[in-house]
Amino acid sequence: MAYEVVRTPPQVSDFTDLSTHQEQTPGTFFGGQAVLHLQCANAKLRIAPDELALHTDFAALGDSTAHENGDIELGSIDVWVTSRHLILWSTIKSTGIQLPYPTITLHAQDRDAVLLQLSLSEPNMTADEDLESLQLRIVPNAAGTSHGTPSVDQAIPDGNGHITSPEQRLYDAISACQELNPDPNAEGDEDEEGAFDETAPGASGWITSESMGDFMDEDGNFRMPEGMTVFGAEEGDGTGELGTGAGTRRTAGEANGGDEDDGRGAEGKWQRTG
């Protein structure tokens, strides 16, 4: 699945807090503890009723109440932003959802919340028309706390002297962790069908010893492969036929033998001396 349902509550001891991580050089870059970038306690989730009805794992996170904008609101959610996953843990239902960052296709600030667009389908196993998505909003609680950094409700000035809001800090933490976990399917597969192979004979447009066979017929005469453009040919002439004998291979003796007088009667030719 694109996400994992978890039954064990996250613990601070499961992670390395961000401040400690920034102050030390890790003993290894692989296999160590995940870094806790932000923890928001007692946050809320807002999801549209029709979408929540289709995603029972998310509906199981809490008791739903109607919000004034028409969304369903789920309370008592602890949000853990770690270097490997985004975890939504329900403290009243003792269940949670662990989201890999490539699942988050879009995130943005939306007033007092952070909006997430989630892709919940397996990209390699789902047809385009069956893609499953979910849009939700995380509303951080002003009284929540975050580990390794000041409390999420504290006024945090940025470099320009502006105050960073709780939703801004949540957005920034998710952004930082997304950069650490790029989507492996984001870059095109060079081996997929239809990819252009620049190393193929004749692909560069030059005729070489490797691509010569593509430009010669069975009689050894030059021919232009179908679909190839010939520069200098008249408009509408896609074949670009050349004169008789063009491309014919001849030995040096054959080339010299083409002159009937073997060069003896040509007035303008040089004569060997000495």
For residue 238, the model assigns a pLDDT of 47
Q: Given the DSSP bridges, would you call strands 16-17 and 35-47 parallel, antiparallel or unpaired?
A: parallel
- Positive or negative, the CA dihedral 14, 76, 146, 52 is positive
Q: Which residues contact 63 (CB under 8 A, 6 or more apart)?
A: 74, 75, 92
Kindly provide the residue ranges of all beta strands, DSSP E only, lying in 10-94, ordered along the sequence: 16-17, 35-47, 64-66, 72-82, 85-90
CA distances 176 to 37, 89, 109, 133, 252, Å, are: 9, 21, 15, 23, 69
Indicate the SS3 state at residue 5. Answer: strand
**Position 237, amino acid:** D
Whose structure tokens read 């003993």? 27
β-bridge mates for residue 13, sequence order: none
Note the residue count of the chain: 274
Distance CA 28, CA 142 (A): 36
Longest dimension (CA), the chain: 111
Indicate the SS3 state at residue 14. Answer: helix
Distance CA 262, CA 54 (A): 91
For residue 190, the model assigns a pLDDT of 46
Distance CA 81, CA 94 (A): 18
Domains of the chain: 4-180 (2.30.29.30), 205-242 (no CATH)
Kindly provide the residue ranges of all beta strands, DSSP E only, lying in 122-180, ordered along the sequence: 133-139, 156-157, 163-164
pLDDT in tens, the chain (274 residues): 689 999 999 999 888 876 665 666 555 555 578 999 999 999 999 999 999 999 999 999 998 888 878 999 999 999 999 999 999 999 999 999 999 999 999 999 999 999 999 999 876 665 665 778 999 999 998 776 555 444 444 545 555 556 789 999 999 999 999 999 987 766 554 445 444 455 555 555 566 666 667 777 777 777 766 666 555 555 555 444 555 555 555 555 665 555 555 545 544 455 555 5
Distance CA 236, CA 214 (A): 22
Tokens standing for 220? Answer: 């050894």
Q: Which residues contact 30 (CB under 8 A, 6 or more apart)?
A: none
For residue 151, the model assigns a pLDDT of 45
Contact call for residues 145 and 152 (beta carbons, < 8 A): yes
Contact call for residues 139 and 111 (beta carbons, < 8 A): no
For residue 159, the model assigns a pLDDT of 56
For residue 178, the model assigns a pLDDT of 94
